[in-house]
Amino acid sequence: MRRVVFNQKGGVGKSTITCNLAAIAAQKGKRTLVVDLDPQGNSTQYLLGGNESEPEVTAADFFEQSLTFRLEPLETIDFVAASPFKNLSVLPSHPRLEELQGKLESRYKIYKLREALEEVGNKFDQVFIDTPPALNFFTRSALIAADACLIPFDCDEFSRNALYALLANADEIRADHNRKLKVEGIIVNQYQPRANLPQKVVAELIAEGLPVLEPYLSASVKIKESHERATPMIWLDPRHKLTQEFVALYENLGAKKKKAKAA
């Protein structure tokens, strides 16, 4: 199963959600890969931040290889780094991704990521792809490579307006490049149940028939400690309320998948 976590709006928790869902999959024994396509590299830092040295090769090297001829090109798995956590690997980001974008677009390398993930498909049970906060070459590559799209959402009108454009973009990718892509659901992040606006906005999304997932993820300062210590919540504090929400969310995704297969 390959999932892309995508929203064109920044600051909605893409990397946090990507890494914590992936960590739970790994903790449950799933061979899990996180692909970090955001040049900012937040997921890379989150999962590899405790390592003393930077990865020798990154996603930038992977994409750059597709632009040049090599007698003995590296295989996709050679670009993957082991994290300090069991069952969890990372295709790390690098700031150089930004420089490569124009060349990759002009050479139409939009399917390279899908081909690469199909190549390593027997080595990983689950793949989570983190994306930049923009609809660019890398997010399109991710949407083309993925089976499902998860959309982080914080509860304000700016996010709501961006959501409709995002859903339209996903539909376009599905129609033109990836027939199996589905929007698996909207993940409500930084939810404050006692505030009127979040309740109102989420209720309206549900009334519109949009696939809002439960549970909603609470706002918590603990997540900042998780970032600082480069340790996802399932390993930092398994009993924390937010950790349990992530676990329930992950399990609900699995339940939806089984239900869809049965149907």
Mean pLDDT by 10 residues, the chain (263 residues): 93 95 98 97 92 81 92 93 97 97 96 97 97 95 98 84 90 96 95 86 93 95 96 98 98 74 55
Token pair of 59, please? 């996603």
Query: Reduced to 3 DSSP states, what percent helix, strand and coil does the chain have, rounded to the nearest 5?
Result: 45, 15, 40
Closest CA to 136 of 263, 10, 3: 10
Q: Would you state the pLDDT for residue 156?
A: 76
Report the alpha-carbon distance of residue 146 to residue 33 in Å, rounded: 13
- Among the listed residues 236, 160, 228, the one whose alpha carbon sits nearest the alpha carbon of residue 198: 160
Please state the length of the chain.
Answer: 263
Angle at 77 between CA 71 and CA 80, to 5 degrees: 120
pLDDT, position 237: 98
H or E element that contains 141: helix 137-145
Domains plus CATH for the chain? 2-262 (3.40.50.300)
Q: What's the chain's Rg over C-alpha atoms? A: 18
Q: Judging by DSSP bridges, how do beta strands 88-91 and 2-5 pair with one another?
A: unpaired
Per-residue pLDDT at 258: 62
Q: Inter-axis angle of helices 97-106 and 137-145, to 10 degrees?
A: 70
Q: Which two tokens stand for residue 220?
A: 């918590």
Alpha helices by DSSP H, listed for 107-240, are 112-119, 137-145, 157-176, 196-207, 222-228, 233-236
